[in-house]
Structure 1
Amino acid sequence: MPVILGEIKVLTRPLSVVRICELFSTCLAFSLEASLESESIDRSAFKHFCTFTWCFFFVLTLLILLVDFIQFQSIIPLSWKNLPITVATLAALMGLTSSVGFACFVVVRWEDAKAVAVTVCSCLAFLAYASEVHLIRLQSREQRGYMASAPGLLKVFQVFGGCVMLLLLSELEPHKLSNWYSWVSVGMKLLCFFMSLGTVLVMLGDCAGRCPLPFDRLLAGFCLLAVLLYMAITVLCVTEILEISKTRVTFTKLTDSIPFIETIVACLILLTYTVDLAFSVKLLCDRA
């Protein structure tokens, strides 16, 4: 089929301008990060997380910009109302994490102008993606999809929180996963992560109407199960902190602070699931 190019004014719209800024800032971020000397940056899982974030969302943003310009939305087997807002929200969250983490773990320890430039570019990318989320949410209800609503944004945050939990897990030393409750906690985190990820994928594929069960009730059940699981995860995290506090007074390594970060993230995810459950219950009550 022939390629149909859009008008040049498509690239001058506020959304397109913001996406071009996203491309520019993310490209600069991973390009400068790749040029850093190997001895001046910690080759940890977090470094790979930052690089993946900038490269992955650069590619996705480029594809979204091209599809919007060429006007191929109708042949994409995804919900175009939900895809851009989902990508922008997840990119803003992961970009913020990369910016703060890169500044704390790299710039503070190494006096390198390129490392500072990487952090600045990452911050600019975060601001650009946050601006895109704001612009999409300003659109009319007919132009927005489910993922632009409050429950949809909460589900994106839940997926993001699951990614952060897995990242923190990869930074732990192997002997710290020897306890039985550590493996139980990992299993519960993975279950919640896959439930939220599955929900987002169903919305992106516009497959909610094909579900053999009432999808709104299924979402409410998922949220209730996730709230119960994350209540248990939070209790396990607090218990681990109390045990560490009894046996250790000072924290000399970066990995020693991971249980505290994990507890904070678990509390935030528990809060999002609780609010999401409230939205689901309200929706069921309104339909009843």
Structure 2
Amino acid sequence: MPVIVLEARDFTSPLFLMRTWEVIAGGVTFSLAAVEHTDSSVFRTFCMLTWCFFFTLTFLILVLSIIQFHSLIPISWKNLTVTVAVYGALMSLSASVYFPWKVMPHEKAFGRNVVATVASCLTAVAYTSESVMLGSQAQEQKGYMGSLPGMLKILQLWGGCQNITLVVKTISELSGEGHTWQTWVLGVCYVSCVFMSLVTLLVILGDLTGRCLLPFDRFLTGFTLSGVLLYMLATVICFTKILQLRGLKDSMELIITETVLCTISLLAYTVDLAFSIKHFFDRSSM
């Protein structure tokens, strides 16, 4: 099959320019952050993984869009691009916060890290701009992940990844101070929710909704209900930990951040469950 390359005018389209911006800004960010670092904390690992992962993924999307090879890949291209854009915006924003907050105070190359933080913020802006562009398209063009329920599922995955990072950091800081059983329960809740989100995402991106053992709407409703219950438990534990660990400033910062993210995730799952129930009854009444 001959390789088809984009026409010249396509290389100046807003979408192509945004993806180019993402690749350049992402590459600059992790290149600067990787030089002469002295900190190997959980947050540095999170930031580096985020920048490298989305740089690689966006670069592949850019190349595939240039040679028009994506039609031969068994993936829903419209769902993939909007997922990468929205998830990339959220994760890049998180890295742009964590890096100056938790990583830079332990680094010596202050000036280089400031530039890396600015580049990370520009990466987040680029992904946000692409998300807006894709979100303004018609529903048939942006796919299920571009709808509100799809966006909520991306938000759920993002919240789970943030909370897992915070749990790992909390375990390392509170290993000798008790209450670790609560942290391990939180970890199980978050990992379970992330696993369910990944399964849902793979089914949608792989266009496998018709191959599920259960109807896809029931499949989503079951996963979403499980997420609501798990995050209700996690939210109660987080508020309990705040009361138990009063006075520990560094630990309190992490736990309050985790509580806020846990509450956001619970809200996302609750709204998503309402959409799933509504869709289920709408189909039942037809």
Question: In which range does the TM-score fall when normalised by the shorter chain?
Answer: over 0.9
Deviates further, 122-131 or 95-104: 95-104
Task: Tell me if the contact between 1:90 and 1:156 (Cα under 8 Å) persists in the aligned partners.
Answer: yes
Contact 2:21–2:126 (8 Å) recurs in 1: yes
Per the alignment, residue 94 of structure 2 pairs with: 97
Structure 1 partner of 2:129: 131
Shift of 1:112: 1.7
The answer on whether the counterparts of 2:83 and 2:145 sit within 8 Å (CA) in structure 1 is yes
Q: Distance in 1 between matches of 2:166 and 2:2?
A: 47
Q: Do residues 187 (structure 1) and 188 (structure 2) align?
A: yes
Matches within 5 A, 1:44-193: 44-107=41-104, 112-172=110-170, 173=172, 174-175=175-176, 179-193=180-194
Whether the aligned pair in 2 keeps the contact of 1:18 and 1:128 (CA below 8 Å) is yes
- 1:8 Cα offset (Å): 2.1
Partner of 1:34: 34
2:213 — aligned with what?
212
- Alignment partner of 1:269 out of 257, 265, 272: 265
Choose 134-143 or 100-109, whichever is displaced more.
100-109
- Do the aligned residues in 2 keep the contact of 1:171 with 1:255 (CA within 8 Å)? no
**Deviation, structure 1 residue 178:** 6.2
- Displacement of 1:140 in angstroms is 1.4
Partner of residue 203, structure 1: 204
- Does the aligned pair in 2 maintain the 1:137–1:144 contact within 8 Å? yes
Name structure 1 gaps, 5 residues minimum. Answer: none
RMSD of the TM alignment (CA)? Answer: 1.8
Matches within 5 A, 1:186-265: 186-245=187-246, 249-251=247-249, 254-265=250-261
Alpha-carbon distance change, 124 to 159 in structure 1, aligned in 2, over 3 angstroms: same
Unaligned runs of 5+ in 2: none
> Take 2:103 and 2:180, find their aligned partners in 1: how far apart are those partners?
32
Q: Normalising by the residue count of structure 2, what TM-score does the alignment of the two structures yield?
A: 0.92
| Residue type of the alignment partner of 2:166 | L
State the AA in 2 paired with 1:29. T
Note closer, same or farther for the CA distance 1:54–1:181 as it changes in structure 2 (3 Å cut): closer
Kindly tell me: are residues 250 and 6 of structure 1, through their superposed partners in 2, closer, same or farther at Cα, counting changes over 3 Å? closer
CA distance in 1, matches of 2:79, 2:207: 9
Q: Displacement of 1:179 after TM fit?
A: 4.1
2:37, 2:24 → 1: CA distance? 24
- Kindly report which structure 2 residues correspond to 1:14-29, keeping only aligned pairs within 5 A, or say none: 14-29=14-29
The whole-number CA distance in structure 1 between the counterparts of 2:180 and 2:76 is 43
Partners in 2 of 1:120 and 1:193 — Cα distance? 29
Distance (whole Å) between structure 1 residues aligned to residue 195 and residue 49 of structure 2: 20
Aligned equivalents of 1:78, 1:276: Cα separation in 2: 24
User: How far has the Cα of 1:115 moved from its partner?
Assistant: 1.0
Conserved 8 A contact 2:43-2:103: no
Paired amino acid for 1:259: I
SS of residue in 1 equivalent to 2:78: coil
d(CA) in 1 for partners of 2:184, 2:98: 26
User: Aligned equivalents of 2:248 and 2:6: distance in 1?
Assistant: 61
Kept after mapping to 1: 8 A contact 2:167/2:186 = no
Q: Percent identity?
A: 47
Q: Once the two structures are superposed, what CA deviation does each residue of 1:96-148 show, in whole Å capped at 9, x if it has no partner?
A: 00111112224466672111100100000000000001000111122111000
- Paired position in structure 2 for 1:13: 13
SS of the equivalent of 1:82 reads: helix
